[in-house]
């Protein structure tokens, strides 16, 4: 009787429906935030390291490690959802700036400029989902427009 229940549960929840593909499932947890994917020495030394975890036509999945700053950029063909796995980041989203920490989810519609600045002592780790999948030609660096600063005029007037 117990065997019949286990088989029924497997059929009901798809345990036996299709063989699992090796290497596709991954748990990325704040508990592993120091080194969730065994970053290599070059990635640990880089200001930003981005890994592609997997890709389908509908979406691509990436892990980014931000030690310093992810420069201002935008994507015209894909929407981006960020999940902060660990760290404290200051995100620039269009014209606003927000603080984000572990567990925060941020939606960035296509065409919206964004940047990330690490505000913690350890690198920030982001799980990124692009829909549709990020195309090779869809990352545009978007420099911040230069403006004259007020301090210059204050010094001049003194």
Could you tell me the residue ranges of all domains in the chain?
39-136
Question: How many percent of the chain have pLDDT more than 90?
Answer: 62
Chain mean pLDDT for the chain: 78
| pLDDT reported for residue 33 | 47
| pLDDT at position 155 over 60 | no
Q: In what order do the strands lie in the sheet with 114-118?
A: 96-101, 88-93, 114-118, 69-74, 140-141
What mean pLDDT comes out for the span 138-156?
58
The residue among 7 and 106 whose pLDDT is bigger is 106
- CATH entry, 39-136, from 2.60.120.10, 1.10.600.10, 3.40.1370.10, 3.40.50.300: 2.60.120.10
pLDDT per residue over 38-93, tens digit each? 789 999 999 999 999 999 999 999 999 999 999 999 999 999 999 999 999 999 99
């Amino acid at each position: 009787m117990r065997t019949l229940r286990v088989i029924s549960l497997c059929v009901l929840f798809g345990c036996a429906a299709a063989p699992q593909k090796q290497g596709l499932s991954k748990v990325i947890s704040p508990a592993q935030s120091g080194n969730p994917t065994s970053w290599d020495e070059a990635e640990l030394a880089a200001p930003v390291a981005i890994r592609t975890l997997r890709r389908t036509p509908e979406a691509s999945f990436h892990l980014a490690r931000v030690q310093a700053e992810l420069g201002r950029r935008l994507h015209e063909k894909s929407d981006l959802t960020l999940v902060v796995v660990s760290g404290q980041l200051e995100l620039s989203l269009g014209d606003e700036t927000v603080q984000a920490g572990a567990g925060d989810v941020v939606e960035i519609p296509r065409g919206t400029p964004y940047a990330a600045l690490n505000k913690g002592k350890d690198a920030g780790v982001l799980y990124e989902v692009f829909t549709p999948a990020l195309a090779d030609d869809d990352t545009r660096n978007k420099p911040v427009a230069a403006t004259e600063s007020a301090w210059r005029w204050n010094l001049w007037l003194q």
